[in-house]
Amino acid sequence: MATGKNKRGFASMDPEKQREIASKGGKASHEKGTAHEFTSEEAREAGRKGGQARQSG
């Protein structure tokens, strides 16, 4: 992954530490009641858009 930039902050952490921190955020938002839960239709649409973006790039 040679992008010419040094990793800083969150990107410089090891992947396990990143997952741990991200998991805490997701759990907190669910407990607070502000987390978004995709319907199957929303998930389908997001996947379709992702596939289109991947093909055009």
Q: What is the pLDDT of residues 14-23, one digit of tens each?
A: 999 999 988 8
In the 3-class helix/strand/coil scheme, how is the chain assigned residue by residue? CCCCCCCCHHHHCCHHHHHHHHHHHHHHHHHHCCCCCCCHHHHHHHHHHHHHHHHHC
pLDDT at position 4? 58
Read off the pLDDT of residues 9-53 as tens digits, 9 standing for 90 and up.
Answer: 888 999 999 999 888 887 888 788 877 778 899 989 988 888 877
pTM for the full predicted model = 0.42
pLDDT of residue 17: 92
